[in-house]
Structure 1
Amino acid sequence: MSSFDCIVIGSGNAGCCAALSSAEAGCDKVLIVDVCPDVWAGGNGYFTAGAFRTVHEGLHDLLPIVNNASKEKADSIDMDGYSGEDFLGDIMRLGNGKPDPVLAAAVVDASRDTISWLAHSVGLPFMFSFHRQAYSVGGRQKFWGGLVLCTEDGGKGLIAAHQRALAKAKVAVWFNCPAVQITMENGTVSGVVVEKEGQKLHLRAPAVVLAAGGFESNPVLRAQQLGLGWERAILRGTPYNQGDGFALAAAVGARQAGDWAGCHSTCWDADAPTDAGRRDLTNQFTKSGYPLGIMVNSAGKRFVDEGEDFRNYTYAKFGKAILLQPGGYAFQVWDSKVIGSLRKEEYGNGIVKKFLADRLEDLAEQLTEVGLEGKAEFVQTTKQFNEATRKFQAENPDATWNPAVKDGMSTQSSEYQLPLPKSNWALTIDEPPFMAVKVACGVTFTFGGLAVDPDTAGVISEKTSKVIPGLFCTGEMVGLFHENYPGGSGLMAGAVFGRKAGQAAAKLRA
């Protein structure tokens, strides 16, 4: 029987952080096991933009850890600080006050120190996210939405850096190796039973860290927990997050927490593969340009306030809004004034099927071939939007369109108001060529999870309300978020609780 100081179940960002933290804290023998083959290493982290949300004091605070800001570049950057109050407020505001404030504060309070650990101890290649979180305004790079950091080459770079760090720390990683049971002795974790090369092996360890992701890859569980219709959502990332980790936890009496009826779901290319993400394109199927235009459903009607808030505060919930529309799809629409501002990684030639026309009527005709049923309604919706936008501009001649701030450029004036406003970044859609793309709901990860101790990431027992000795949890399996979340906080939470779990696990080694 093999023995380890710590066994981590899951090879994503959170699991890697747990393994590396435990090794750094003194565990000599650390093992990661994952049900997936090695070509799927990294879980959903591989499919992200590699964005990490953190508390910081502004540009001067973060310059030492990024690799893409020379002194000349730094002199052209406008970056406000992001306080702990800001970060916690965003989690609670977007979650409608439902997240556990103590658990959320644990992420917020540890975020900046964890970023330093990831940069200097783990070796993550951080950079400023100019391509996703800044606009050029008056010749200056203006960051917005509280999110400024990402890893070089996105999720691919994130997982590659983790794998280099695991090799350096001599952490063993077994792929094609599902964990099928957590073993207990006298109420304390004693190890894990895994299936390896067709045989069941009992691996002993005083500490086990659950980092196996949510249940978003399982259409049956999605329908059961999230509701009917969610089985039709497009899976953005790994196909291996089937909810197995929760079955392991339930068998040893773990308490559930978080929003089991909620998930992170976003605007996704309607033509993307449905059952798993593509590892070559990863996050490029995201279609996040809706704040610069409008979205209409198959009936030709708008259904969300595209300018309600910055994109990284709305994208995780707008996928659900699309799924609830007739047919479960929608169309994003822009004109020539903003087409050049759309991210080429998401909307470039060869990345997405684009529909272009010089007349709205002709664009509508093209869209009928891919599901637009309300052709006349689409044209009327766009013209009403234009009328409302013009009347606002006439009433507010000094208002200036600025995508880097919540500019208040809306469809609502004293003379004319749309029943569903666009609250910011409203520009008329009247200068050809017009462009549209078809989008659907892409499900990223589920919010339902386990209750954990905020200091150690120890899993709470349903029966005793105390930590189950030796059992820890991190990543998507922690029940932190409700209804919505601020972009970049998922990877951050996984790193924070992974680090805490590894440190606590090291204290249990023999």
Structure 2
Amino acid sequence: MRLLVAGGGLAGLVAAARALELGASVTVLEKGDRPGGSFVYSSGYIWSYRDLPTFRREAPGGDPDLQALVLGRLEEALSWLEASGGVILSRETGNPLTFGARFDPEPTAAALAGRVEKAGGQLLLRRALRRLLTAEDGRVRGAVVEGEGGRDEAAADAVILATGGFAANPELVRRHILRGPGRLLLRAHPWSAGEGFLAALAAGARPGPGLDEFYGRNLPAPPARFGPKLFVEVSQLYGRHAVAVNLRGERYADEGADWSETALVRATALQPRQRAWYLLDAAALRRRVRERSVGEMVEAARRVGGTVLRAGSLEELARRLGERGVPAERLLRTLREYNAAAEAGRAGELRPPRSGEAPVLGEPPFAAVEVAAAITHTIGGLAVDAGCRVLREGGEPVGGLYAAGVEAGGLSAGGYASGLAAALVLGMRSAETAVEEAG
């Protein structure tokens, strides 16, 4: 059985390694100059919610069959990854809602790539999928591949798409996520530009839910400059301890809407210039998020050239932001309304409301950090079933076509779930289904 895997990130490497174990002949096409995808830039946490009701609550728009698949197979998949050379850093996630493990991304990706090649698989770098080849009956029979020497056709009995969604395609992001002008910062490698998604649609596939959603973080806004290896370090993951205002000086979202702050990042993406300000007082700067304090995350933003303003009073902070174009009087009114509601325990009555803890912004000195929304990966993708078969509009599979990782849409629509767990579990499942159906 000849299997073509498009994409050499975690999902593609897992699919290739598992298919080789099952006796397939495997070729992996990686558009970039190295394997590993954005996994190598991540914190390495691979997790699931602890039970299906929690999964459904945290990602209510997601496909319950896919969610049950990830939940049911993650422990087995983590053990498989460790046995395949994955390097475990921790067997805890630090979140009572979840279970999983933390892997060291670079050596784990290297181990998987080595396993693929040692088992006889081909790992071809700088090879991009351009089009799927189909037979008269609509079954996928290979792909058109573009490399440095031009375009070639690669025949296959099945194709697994694991090209990582379309986060690095500004046009698709504008069309599906922003629904208008603007551009998100990219918190990932630059190769996931939607080739697999578009090729599947052209072959008759239908998209799954969540095309207008993404996972990402608010990062220090330009002129901050930093490379991919600092993506985790410079992420400004403390919105729940701040008051978030847009460039008009207005609160624009519920800062405490969810534990992951995914909703806050998505709301930032819809603000003018996809930017906002996080406003903090001294008490907030002392708070801790996992192993770091908020003050340390603010310092990371300043260190890479981000805009961090400090002031001894809210009036001074408003004046300094006014110098940056934020209407000072409106901002002061916003902060006074917020503080009054927080002090009275009525933050849930604000518009937008404030969920959970609503700290009063009152202890000087104060700080303001300019942030910009950044996309790590798309949430929506191709409609698939629990066997990772890509589906047509009528619900029947596109013969010979499978999807893994974030290429498979619908797992975490309406919320957030681990993209790395989708890569691992769906990578394994897509390989198993493809080999079984070809055999």
Interval of TM-score (by shorter of Structure 1 and Structure 2): 0.7 to 0.9
Task: Give the aligned CA root-mean-square deviation in angstroms.
Answer: 2.8
Paired with 1:453 and 1:340, the residues of 2 have a C-alpha distance of: 46
* Structure 2 match to 1:75: none
* Structure 2 match to 1:9: 6
- Per the TM alignment, residue 492 of structure 1 is displaced from its structure 2 partner at its CA by 1.0
For the 8 Å contact 2:210–2:379, the answer to whether it is kept is yes
Paired with 1:221 and 1:52, the residues of 2 have a C-alpha distance of: 27
Paired with 1:214 and 1:8, the residues of 2 have a C-alpha distance of: 14
2:177 aligned with 1:181? no
* Structure 2 match to 1:23: 20
| 1:245–1:418 distance in 2 versus 1, CA, 3 Å | closer
| 1:212–1:226 distance in 2 versus 1, CA, 3 Å | same
After superposition, the C-alpha distances for 1:74-118 in whole angstroms (9 at most, x for unaligned) are: xxxxxxxx22332243222xx3xxx33223322222223222222
Paired with 1:273 and 1:168, the residues of 2 have a C-alpha distance of: 42
After superposition, the C-alpha distances for 1:190-227 in whole angstroms (9 at most, x for unaligned) are: 32332233233332321211111222222222222234
Aligned residue for 1:449, secondary structure, equals coil
Unaligned runs of 5+ in 2: none
The one-letter amino acid of 1:433's match is P
For the 8 Å contact 2:215–2:416, the answer to whether it is kept is no
* Structure 2 match to 1:260: 211
Deviates more, 1:248-257 or 1:435-444: 248-257
Paired with 2:120 and 2:235, the residues of 1 have a C-alpha distance of: 35
The one-letter amino acid of 2:58's match is D
For the 8 Å contact 1:236–1:443, the answer to whether it is kept is yes
| 1:296–1:200 distance in 2 versus 1, CA, 3 Å | closer
Instruction: Report matched runs for 1:321-332 at 5 Å.
Output: 321-332=267-278
Paired with 1:210 and 1:181, the residues of 2 have a C-alpha distance of: 12
- Aligned counterpart for 1:101 among listed residues 42, 52, 64: 64
- Per the TM alignment, residue 124 of structure 1 is displaced from its structure 2 partner at its CA by 4.2
2:127 aligned with 1:127? no
Paired with 1:272 and 1:14, the residues of 2 have a C-alpha distance of: 34
The one-letter amino acid of 1:113's match is E
2:351 aligned with 1:458? no
- Aligned counterpart for 1:36 among listed residues 29, 32, 35: 32
For the 8 Å contact 1:268–1:319, the answer to whether it is kept is no
| 1:431–1:495 distance in 2 versus 1, CA, 3 Å | same
Instruction: Report matched runs for 1:78-227 at 5 Å.
Output: 82-92=50-60, 95=61, 99-128=62-91, 134=94, 143-146=95-98, 149-152=101-104, 155-156=105-106, 159-185=109-135, 187=137, 188-227=139-178
Aligned residue for 1:200, secondary structure, equals strand
For the 8 Å contact 1:53–1:492, the answer to whether it is kept is yes
- Aligned counterpart for 2:432 among listed residues 503, 506, 509: 503
Q: Report how many aligned residue pairs link the two structures.
A: 430
* Structure 1 match to 2:250: 301
- Per the TM alignment, residue 291 of structure 1 is displaced from its structure 2 partner at its CA by 0.7
The one-letter amino acid of 1:293's match is A
Paired with 2:123 and 2:416, the residues of 1 have a C-alpha distance of: 31
| 1:370–1:158 distance in 2 versus 1, CA, 3 Å | farther
Paired with 2:381 and 2:314, the residues of 1 have a C-alpha distance of: 46
| 1:304–1:196 distance in 2 versus 1, CA, 3 Å | closer
- Aligned counterpart for 2:44 among listed residues 42, 50, 60: 50
* Structure 2 match to 1:288: 237
For the 8 Å contact 2:86–2:108, the answer to whether it is kept is no
- Per the TM alignment, residue 331 of structure 1 is displaced from its structure 2 partner at its CA by 0.7
Aligned residue for 2:258, secondary structure, equals coil
Paired with 2:360 and 2:42, the residues of 1 have a C-alpha distance of: 32
* Structure 1 match to 2:315: 361
| 1:116–1:360 distance in 2 versus 1, CA, 3 Å | same
For the 8 Å contact 2:256–2:357, the answer to whether it is kept is yes
- Per the TM alignment, residue 15 of structure 1 is displaced from its structure 2 partner at its CA by 1.0
The one-letter amino acid of 1:84's match is L
Aligned residue for 1:440, secondary structure, equals strand
- Per the TM alignment, residue 22 of structure 1 is displaced from its structure 2 partner at its CA by 0.7
Paired with 1:485 and 1:156, the residues of 2 have a C-alpha distance of: 28
Paired with 1:434 and 1:506, the residues of 2 have a C-alpha distance of: 59
Aligned residue for 1:291, secondary structure, equals helix
Aligned residue for 2:98, secondary structure, equals coil
The one-letter amino acid of 1:368's match is G
* Structure 2 match to 1:431: 363
Per the normalisation by structure 1, the TM-score is 0.76
* Structure 1 match to 2:329: 376
- Per the TM alignment, residue 508 of structure 1 is displaced from its structure 2 partner at its CA by 5.4
For the 8 Å contact 1:46–1:282, the answer to whether it is kept is no
For the 8 Å contact 2:5–2:28, the answer to whether it is kept is yes
- Per the TM alignment, residue 458 of structure 1 is displaced from its structure 2 partner at its CA by 1.7
Q: Percent identity?
A: 28
Paired with 1:180 and 1:294, the residues of 2 have a C-alpha distance of: 45
For the 8 Å contact 1:219–1:230, the answer to whether it is kept is no
* Structure 2 match to 1:61: none
